[in-house]
Structures are given as C-alpha cells and as structure tokens.
Amino acid sequence: MYSKEIEQVLKKGKITPGNYVHVANPNFSSDGVLIPRPNFGDESILVLKLSNGYNVGIRYDAKTKIIKLNKVAAKFSFPENKLKFDKSKPKVTLITTGGTIGSKVDYRTGGVHMLLKPEELLYDVPELSRIANVEVNNLFSIASEDMGYKQWQDLAKGVESAFENGSRGVVIFTGTDTMHYISSALSFMLERLNGPVVITGAQRSSDRGSSDAFMNMICAFHAAAESDVAEVAVCMHTGSSDDTCSLMRGTKVRKMHTSRRDAFKPINARPIAKISVEGRIDYISEYKKIDAGKGRKVDLMTGFEPKVALVKFYPNSDPEILDYYVEKEYKGIIIEGTGLGHMAVNPTEAKYSWIAPLKKAVGKGVVVGITSQCLFGRVHTKVYSNLRIISNTGAIYCEDMLPEVALVKLGFLLGNYKTEEVKRMLNRNIVGEITARTEVDWFV
C-alpha cells in the first residue's frame, strides 16, 4: 500500500498501478510502469518498472511529479494449452487446495495468482496430457497451515466424487507445510479406498524454470494414472536432483526440512515406490494393491473431533498444561515424550512430575497417547521403570506411529467411535500407520 498522500495524488491524476507514468524529481526522471507497493517497507516510495525491466524505488515528496502517460499497458494473461481428450488414457482428477504448487506469479508485480484452469497447468506441464485426461476440481485456495479438519473432510468428499465420476486415480495439490497431516487424515477418512490418491506440492514456486513442481506433478500423475497402489500417498522429490520422486505412505511420511525439494521423508518405513521423471515406477516395499474385482467407490468416514492436542514434553516443561486441556474439555491428548516415551516421573521438584496430571486426565476420560519426539523408532512401556509408571496411568503407547499421525488418528477415532473403542484402536494398525516390525534400513 502507498501512503495516503501518494494515494491521493494517484487518485487525482487517475493513475492506478499498472499504468505507464512519467516520474520526475531533482534526482530522477523517467517513464515506467507504476508497480503496486508491496505490503511492507516505506509507503512513501513509488516503485516504478523501467523499460529495461528493472524496478526502482523513488521517494515521493513535494518536488516529485507523476504524470499519467497515454501508452496503454499490455494486458497480462497466463498462456493456456487446449485440453484434448485421449480415450486411450485414464481419467485423473486433480484437486487443488492452494499452496505453492497451485500458485503462479504475476511477473510485473510479483503478486501471486492461483492456478484455476487446467489449460494453464497443461501449458506449463504439457507432459500431463500424455499421461492422463486431466479433470480439475479447484476445491479451495488455502495455505496448508491455514487448513484444518473441515478442509480435510471436504477433500475426502472431493476424492469420493472423483472416483464416483470415473477417475482412475486422484492427484491433490496442497501446500507442503501440513501435507503430512492432510495425507494422514485422508488415509483414515477414505475407507475401502481402491485407487491411488496422490498428494503433491512444491517447495519452489512454479514461476521459476527450476521449480520442483513440474517433476512432482509428472510423477504424481504417473502414480495416479498407472500405479496399482490403493492408498493415500505423498509424491515428492527423492533427492535434490530432478530425476526421481518417492511415493510415500500417507501415514508414514513427514516434512523434515524447511526448504529442500526432498523435504519429505518416509519415517519408520521405506517409500512404497520410486517414480522416475520418465514415468518408470519401481515398487520397493509392501503396499495395498488395487483390487481389480472391485470398483473405485470409497466409503467416507469423515467424523473428526477437533478437541485433540499435541503436547511436547521437554526438560522443565510444566505438566499443568494437561490440566489446561482437561479443563477445556479436550477429548484426547498425544504426548511427544523423549526417547522411548518418557516424561519426568521423579524430578527433584515434584511440580515437574507428569504422573499426577496424567492420571487426572485419564481419570476424566481423556484418551492420552504417547509417542516419541525421536520420530524414528518405537516407543516402549517396559525398558525402564519410569516407562512402566507412565504406562500404568492408562496412557496408551503408540508403537512406531508419528506424533502428528497419532494426533490425526485420535481426532478421527474420537469423531467416529466410542471412547472405549478409541482406546483399543489407537495403537492398533488401521491403514499402515503402525508396523509390527522395524526393518534395519528404515533410518536416515
């Protein structure tokens, strides 16, 4: 936003950002296109795009003149590729939800534009039309950190109708920050899934020719159109190179880096498959296969209890946090303990012991699950006596389930089952979120 003073001058001169103008003061004199002021920085600086493509910032003051020129700015539009139907190719529905992968940049202003039409996508990634007939469902446009269980429910419904409408597979574009929560939620909500649901995103925006979005999309579409995986999976770069993506179980994957292309790693698992940018799919671990004898129809189970919390134990952490949640009528709490699933049991200052608050919470009917902040590996109830003490409070140790997955699972269970059933189901495998064995090479 420009300052009020500038806005008034612009209004008076009938100038709006995007217009060709002449700006002159004792220090500067040039034609250019007026650029909207970004929402930060000094509001009294006019930003002008010069004919050489560069922007410059010129401080507006009493000596500065700005005149609208007659030249009309060229209209900006994103190029498109026509959709062609190829009956030899399967139908894949693309559901977009927002995030880096679905956004494009208005190159003049740097402003972000959400991808709305499949034609624009096919212009950027024409390879997709050689893989599948793409149908696009722009469900919403929300950054992944702003998404919650209501969006997960809508997404599940979107997947249901995609399969009802004859799609072989579904690709979902989301922001990456909470992608592993989304993939967990869908894993639980889509019962009797009999086709690939592949979630992908981008760590680098697609305005740059080097964006990871392109290969992620290509591999995700190969997975949706060609793989026999009947699971919800995340498909993202395997390494920093643009050669292979990993297809990872939706409940066994986590964003492990803030910015790298290969931020998503399988945890306590190997990828289901590796997919080359040319479309070769190498299956490398066990997965649920498409049952050719059955249709694609899914049963939805979208109930969700939002009053579930994820609490991290750390040295000097105050266990009264549990009382807070109990008071706020939370129905479930997942604790990220240390190591095998520890919290303070015998600290020198009694107020730091988690035992009493834990007992109290469980006693009030709150379902408490224990996971490990190590992420890799399995929690255990017996190795140390402290573990037994915690376990005896009625808290449930959640095997090798990731803390975030446990949180989503708990919300899902509480939204669909009675408490006693929830307690029974929390540490039992439903969709691959818990494994019975830990293989030797499941570690970084």
Which residues are at the interface with another protein (CB under 8 A)?
A: 27-28, 35, 38, 40-42, 45, 47, 50-59, 74-79, 104-105, 107-110, 123-124, 203-204, 206-211, 214-215, 239-243, 258-261, 277
- Of 81 and 317, the one with the shorter C-beta distance to another protein is 81
Give bridge partners of residue 171 from the DSSP assignment: 94, 198
- Token pair 């446990």: residue: 406
Q: Is 251 a catalytic residue?
A: no
Query: Could you say which of 49, 91, 109, 177 is catalytic?
Result: 177
- Of 109 and 302, the one with the shorter C-beta distance to another protein is 109
Q: How far is the CB of 45 from another protein (least distance, A)?
A: 5
Count Cβ atoms within 10 A of the Cβ of residue 433 and give its class: 0-12 exposed, 13-18 middle, 19 or more buried.
Answer: buried
Query: Could you say which of 96, 97, 176, 244 is catalytic?
Result: 176
Q: How far is the CB of 254 from another protein (least distance, A)?
A: 18
Q: How far is the CB of 142 from another protein (least distance, A)?
A: 20
Q: How far is the CB of 179 from another protein (least distance, A)?
A: 18
- Of 209 and 293, the one with the shorter C-beta distance to another protein is 209
- Of 218 and 379, the one with the shorter C-beta distance to another protein is 218
Q: Is 302 a catalytic residue?
A: no
Query: Could you say which of 100, 109, 200, 238 is catalytic?
Result: 100
Q: How far is the CB of 172 from another protein (least distance, A)?
A: 23
Q: Is 435 a catalytic residue?
A: no
Q: Give CA–CA dist 306/309, Å, rounded.
A: 8
- Of 214 and 442, the one with the shorter C-beta distance to another protein is 214
- Of 47 and 197, the one with the shorter C-beta distance to another protein is 47
Q: How far is the CB of 443 from another protein (least distance, A)?
A: 21
Q: Is 177 a catalytic residue?
A: yes
- Of 156 and 275, the one with the shorter C-beta distance to another protein is 275
Query: Could you say which of 91, 104, 252, 255 is catalytic?
Result: 255
Half-sphere exposure of 381 (CA within 13 A, CB side): 15
Q: How far is the CB of 63 from another protein (least distance, A)?
A: 12
Positions annotated as catalytic residues are 100, 176-177, 255
